[in-house]
Amino acid sequence: MSAQWFGQLEYRVPYADTDQMGVVYYANYLVYFERSRNELMRAMGLTYKELEQRQLGLPVVSAHIDYKTPARYDDLLTIRAELAWIRGVRLQVDCSVRRAEQVLATGYTIHAVIDLHSLRPARLPDELMAMWSQAVVTAQEQPTIVHNV
């Protein structure tokens, strides 16, 4: 098990991510959040693919982004995700996008745990709930750059 309970990656902005104003198109930040959530899942010991093999899904049911300053073509971004909380069949992932030490955007996504066959809410198996609850506690103990809960 990883001792790092966050997902993080570096990403260089391609032209395709920018709009006519030369900045990263606002909706692409949700794609960046998704990429960091994939890394978070790996850090928590289970990939999305492995979760789906258990017939469980985590669709986004709510998303929020605070844009601080724009990212531009060729910027090297650090994108980070942390598990903020788990309550019943819902969980929140806090995300941030940085260029070096400068915070460009912060936000969060709220997910429902669902059964992939019925598309209805489902409980996490006990071992996942225990493991992911530990990730929440560990993330809260670490200094974080995300302030949206």
Whether 116 and 56 have beta carbons less than 8 Å apart is answered as yes
Contacts 24+ apart (CB under 8 A), 61-64: 61/90, 61/110, 61/111, 61/112, 62/109, 62/110, 63/30, 63/33, 63/107, 63/108, 63/109, 63/110, 64/107, 64/108, 64/109, 64/148
Q: Is 126 marked active-site? A: no
Q: Active-site residue among 19, 74, 75, 115?
A: 19
The structure tokens 């060729």 sit at 74
State the catalytic residues.
19
